[in-house]
Amino acid sequence: MIEGPRPVRPNEYRSLLKLVNRTFIGSPGERGMESLYPWHLSSENRRNLWVTVENGKVVSHVGVSKRALAVDGVRIPLGLMSAVATDPAYRGAGLASRIIEVLRSRHDREGLDLYFISGDRGLYRRIGAVPVGRRLHFVLTPAALGLFAHPDVSFRPAGPRDLAAIAALHAREPVRILRPVADFRRVFRAGWAVLSPARFFVAEAGGRVTAYFVAGVTRKAGGPQSGRLVVVEHAGSRTDLLAALHAACLAWGKRRVELTVSPHERESLALLSGRHLGERHVPVYDAIAILNLERLIRRLRPVLAKRAGPAGRRLEGGEFNFKPFLALGASRVAVPREVMTRLIFGEPTRDRPPGVRADGALGRVLRAGFPIPLANPGISYV
């Protein structure tokens, strides 16, 4: 008999890890997913690791880490969903879909407004999850970075004592994933971020840490990846960051640096845009789903008012006959769920999805207020 959906029990945790590691890593290796992503799959997060079980064996799993998105002073609770897996013998029975359905209802009641989901497939599309937002991906050569070289800026690998300064720099970003300092410590100790081994580095100027970056490293030596430096997260002074990346290229003999920048990073864009640095648009995350549109719009009203004026505080959101809508007074626009998500957070290749029409005050609020910027998850990606 299949039990669940429910949180994994202590005596089932080992079975859960076996399923997840077999699904995402394959053959047994030196490290399992629980050591690569300790803040997500650790026993400390067990109450958020939901499963279905048969005869003590975990046969399906959906993991969620509860965090929040900060946007210009507004806090939006969200769940980072990942490590979704079903035993091959049980696939096609809708077990993972059932877990997500239960979690979505539960998390809505708890006040979560969004899911950031690792993956983009039918399982997630059924709850309206789509890739949204956009970032600019730059390919920087040492010659291009030479424009930002500065003799007073140096870089070095970060140590445990730097983590407080790193967390403080991250906390100053106006758009970011709100995470506890413990997340930085766990990722630092794990030596793994996003999908590869990684290390923290800091830029220093005038004897203090002014920026940091997290970059992929080789598995064995612990140094930068061969031929290129892939930055998965950064914060702090952008001029010092670019100077530090130039110094890193010279020290490590790198041919290029790959850096992803969000549209709200005005300092970065002012420094990099228009220089023919191989920029291309990429989505912010694999997929994002809105759990409660009415509550999300209420939370966003201060941001909308800054962008669109007093009318932004009167915007309402909701759902009628399973179709989400935005309304201002008697004016209303209703679109399919995935279109609404892209309207609010933007598409990877343009600001607004095609086919959304709204006139008058509502149209002005939608044009001025959206898209809402999204944070690059960086080390919070699973």
Burial of 233 from C-beta contacts in 10 A (0-12 / 13-18 / 19+)? buried
The least confident of 44-48, 198-202, 256-260, 270-274 is 270-274
In the chain, where the domains are located: 2-112, 135-282, 291-369
Integer Cα distance of 244 and 229 in angstroms: 12
236 phi and psi angles, rounded to 5 deg: 100, -160
Tens of pLDDT, residues 243-272:
999 999 999 888 889 999 988 899 999 999
- Please say whether the structural domain 2-112 has been given the CATH code 3.40.630.30: yes
Burial of 227 from C-beta contacts in 10 A (0-12 / 13-18 / 19+)? exposed
Reported confidence tier of residue 116, pLDDT bands at 50, 70, 90: very high
**Strands 228-236 and 256-261: what pairing?**
parallel
User: Which amino acid makes up residue 345?
Assistant: F
| Cβ within 8 Å of residue 151, ≥6 positions away | none
∠ CA 303-80-36 to the nearest 5 degrees? 135
Integer Cα distance of 261 and 198 in angstroms: 19
Give the position of tokens 């669109």: 308
Looking at the predicted structure, is the pLDDT value of residue 353 above 70?
Answer: no
For 135-282, CATH number? Answer: 3.40.630.30
Looking at the predicted structure, is the pLDDT value of residue 349 above 70?
Answer: no
Looking at the predicted structure, is the pLDDT value of residue 225 above 60?
Answer: no
pLDDT, residue 1, reads 86
Query: Residue 17 has which token pair?
Result: 């890890």
Question: Whole-structure pTM over 0.85, yes or no?
Answer: yes
The least confident of 53-57, 117-121, 267-271, 377-381 is 117-121
Integer Cα distance of 273 and 135 in angstroms: 12
297-301-302-303 Cα dihedral, nearest 10 degrees: 70
Query: Residue 176 has which token pair?
Result: 């970011």
Between residues 347 and 37, the one the model is more confident about: 37
pLDDT, residue 12, reads 97
The whole-number average pLDDT for the span 352-370 is 84
Integer Cα distance of 88 and 95 in angstroms: 12
Q: Do domains 2-112 and 135-282 have the same CATH topology?
A: yes
Tens of pLDDT, residues 299-332:
999 999 999 999 999 999 999 988 999 999 999 9
Q: Please state whether 102 falls in left (phi above 0), alpha (psi between -120 and 50) or beta.
A: alpha
Tens of pLDDT, residues 290-305:
999 999 999 999 999 9
